[in-house]
Structure formats: structure tokens, C-alpha cells
Structure 1
Amino acid sequence: MAGKIVAVFDFDKTIIDLDSDNWVVDELAGTELFNQLLPTMPWNSLMDRMMKELHSQGKTIEDIEEVLKRVPIHPRIIPAIKSAHALGCELRILSDANMFFIETILNHLGLKDYFSEINSNPSFVNEEGRLRILPYHDFTTSSHGCRLCPPNMCKGLIIERIQASLAKEGDKKKLIYLGDGSGDYCPSLKLKEDDHVMPRKKFPLWDLIFSNPIRIKAEIHEWSDGEVMEKVLLQIINKTSVEVEQGKSTCAAQLFSASDCKLQTISASAHEALPQALPVPL
């Protein structure tokens, strides 16, 4: 039963085929300024600064939305998401992009309602009509303490929170984590033996995992594009569903066997309690 599975997707270069931050900056002619500022500040802070600069150049929220609606996506990604959801798999997103970009794209693709949760950097349109992009973890006041992750977001901490919330539900669920970037390595290390990780082949996460695969407890399944992702993801879901059903059958058989044994014991006891037959005279 796929209801036992939670699939957690990265967004950039996983659901969509590129980085949404770079896409917006490039499409709105901000690449040169972006490259100038990149060495001077963290990526998340730089994106907030770029939204300010683009706004000052007359770029509107509507301009950003139109650019996001043109973002390229592999044709098999949408069917993969819909099929996984139809099988009963719970879907979530964990991304270092931002909520405005992700929700705009998902709404345009008709996919937003397929995801039960989106974890990303918060964003909002201020009173001036400018998009503000903030860090998920406010690193200006305190550090999340993870050396593997950027200062604004530790995906490993978020996966641990998801694991804890699932544990409270009392029904053990398996995680499938799909990603591509170095920021997806930390959450991959948090996965357990019954879980699955799907790194995109020849991307940073794949390189990190296969440089020392023994560190990963989860089962590893590589993928290269949307077509392969769909095939692998649905195979995992179907296999897990079969294993769960087989587990139920085994459990039911064990219960039946135990019940049968009890009946035999009662029958034997009843037999022993019967009056003994008189000896036959010779």
C-alpha cells in the first residue's frame, strides 16, 4: 500500500530541469550584476538583493510570474507526480529555492494540490510590490550548526523534523528522497535502511554519494532524466506496496496459526477431561 510511503522532492533540477533562481535572473537581464555580487554574499541574500535591483529597473511581479511560467520541465515529470499521488504516495517538497517561485510554477503546471507540504525559503511581496526572499533558518541571529549545508537552510534538520512527525503518527512509513545538489547530501545521510534515495546521475549529490556510498543507509537508485525518474519512482512505490501486502499476509497467517494451535490445545484438554473407558472383561 503506497500510503506507507512519503516521497520528498527537491525542486530545482529535480522537478524542473534547471535552477529557478538563475532562470529568473537570466531571463530578466540581471546576469551580469548577479555575477558581480555573487562573491560578496550568500546565495539566498543575493537573490533578495537581485529582486530589489530588478524592481528598481521596473521589473514587476507579473514579469517574474511570466518568466516562471516558461520554465522548462521534462514531459514525464508531471505524469510521474500524478501517478505517484494516485497510488496513494504522500508527496512533499524540500527546496532551497523560495516559496513564491515554487508555488507560481506548481500552480501554472496544475501540480500544487498534489503536495501535502512545501518546505522552502519564505518569500512575500511587500507594500512596494517588490518580492522579498528570506532565509529558512535566520542565520543572522543564530546558526543551524551544520557544516554540510548553506547558512540559510539545513535540509537534514528538516528531514529529521519530518521523520519525527511521521513517528508520532505511529504508523511506520518509508521515505523516498529525490534530489540533485550538494545541499541534498545532508538529508540523504539522515535516511534509514528502509528508505530510498534517488540522486540524479552525474550531479553533485550523485558524486557525493558514490564517492563514499557506505555512509548512506538508504537504498540508492540513480536517475538521469524525467523518464527514468518516473520509471524508478513508480517501481519503488509498487515494490513497497507489494512488500507491505506480503507482510500483512504473513501476519494474518501467523495469527491464524496461533489461533489454530489454541483450538488444538483446548480440544486436547477436553479430551483428557472425559471419563476413562472401563476395561473390557476377558
Structure 2
Amino acid sequence: MILETKGLTKVYGKQEIVSGVDLQLEKGQIYGFLGPNGAGKTTTMRMILGLTKPAGGEILLFGKSLKTDRIQILKRIGSLIETPSFYSHLTGLENVRIAAKLYGVGDRKRVDDVFSLVRLEHAMHRKAGSYSLGMKQRLGLAMALIHKPELLILDEPTNGLDPEGIQEMRDLIKNMPSIMNTTVLVSSHLLSEVEQMATNVGIIHQGSMKFQGTMEELKKQNSGHLLIRTNDPERAWSTLKEKGFIVKLQGDQLKISDARPEIIQQIQQQLISNDVTILRMEEEKSSLEKMFMQMTKRENAS
């Protein structure tokens, strides 16, 4: 296990910002840490990096406790939290060389390689202060990658980028495990963004984890519902209701919340045996985006 948190908690004043978060990240994954703004994503990442102290819980990185092996652990991690930090009066190349020196990277070819990786070779001799927002993000990524980290932690790396910059950053992240053997934890408030690059996802809302698993497992939760049209809606409704199915009559069609194949087969058998003709049967699924919104729906103040 690359990263594991157990009951991770953070309190500011009397408010619990992060509440008992259990997060597991295995080698080779791109883990999308998903939640609305203010959900606790950045605070969790800052605790993982030792930038802020937890109120409770445990953080294990590479099987070791952050409390006892902090320096050795952080040498194996690259990060880009909030806005990238660099010297605007220096060139991109000079900034990356400083990062290389701090990490003890003496290989000059590595500096060239990392500029090529983030597609910034054309601007490496320009002052970093003149870079566009997308270029600054890629420079920050180059500095985070200079020492070939085993774990890369990125907080909302596409924020503020134009569509082209978003696509470039997404492609870079997707290639990290294969090109650099780097595992990635990346936060976002957009499901559509995470869906296009993550293998695994964790959904956090108001400091608590609402879901954790593979992207495929998340999609399976979106089972949808079944819509049925028959020649006799009233009779079909009463027949299925008597047999214990949870069914609603909406106009001239039936709506059933369980659309598993075995349930569909049972419904067909019951209607046919009661001389009800099925005119149309279809499964209707909500979008993943809608499901995400339901998971993170803010409760009305009571």
C-alpha cells in the first residue's frame, strides 16, 4: 500500500473539517479525490504531506508512519498543492535546477527530460513570471517530478486552465504510472475530469468519505430504474404490487427502481402469466454526474 489513512481528522476551532477519513491508495493507481469546494480535499492532502497537523488518526506512507519517518517519506513524494511555488524573476530552467539541487539530483539530463515530459522545452529559458497559467502549472509539475517521486500529489491541477491546458494536464497525469512508475493522488471538484483519467475514486463531502473504490465500481452503483409500458397499466401495477415489487404508476407507464437482470426476468414472467402485454421495457440510468450530486447534496439547515 502506497498510502493509507486511518480515522484521519482535522478540527479548526469547534468545526470538524475532516472527519475520520480512511483512504487507501495502491501502487500504480491514479486516485481521483473528488468532492465539492470546501469538502476537505486540500486539508486532507496537506495532512498527508505533513503541512498541517491532524487532530486525530494515522497516516501511513509506503508502510511507514509519517510521525516517525517524515523526512525519508517526503523524499519519495512530489506535490503540487494550490498554486505552484517558484521564483518569477528566474527562468523556468533555473527554477527546476534549484528544485533538483534541493532534492540532490545531480543528473543534468534529468532536467532536460522533465521539461520534455511536461512539454515546456520551448519556454525553459524564459522568465517564469512571463508564463501563462497553464505553463506555470506545468513548471510546478516539472519541479515536483524532478526527483522521480514514487507518489505524486496534485491538488486541483486543472483549476483556471483553458480547454487546451486541461487536456494537456490530463494527458500528463494519465501517463505518470506507465512513463515514470509514479502513483498519483489528484483532487478535483469535477466528476467529468476525474472520470477521464482516474482508475480509482474517493468521494468526500463535508469532511466525510461517501464512496471509495474503482471507477467501475462507482458506475455499477448507478443501476438506474426500469420503465415499462403495457396494454393495461392499472392491471400491470396491481399485479406487480401484489407480488411484492416496489412499483409506481406514472401516467401510462410503470417505474421500478430495481433494474437487475433477474428482476426484469421475474417481472416479465408475472405480467405474461397474468395476460398483460408488454409494449415497451427500457432501463433508464442517471448520469454519473447526477449520482455524484446526490451523494454530495447539501442537507437543508433545520
Task: Tell whether the structures are fold-level matches, with TM greater than 0.5.
Answer: no
Length-normalised TM-score, structure 2: 0.27
Give the structure with the larger helix fraction: 1
Q: Which has the larger radius of gyration?
A: 1
Give the structure with the larger strand fraction: 2
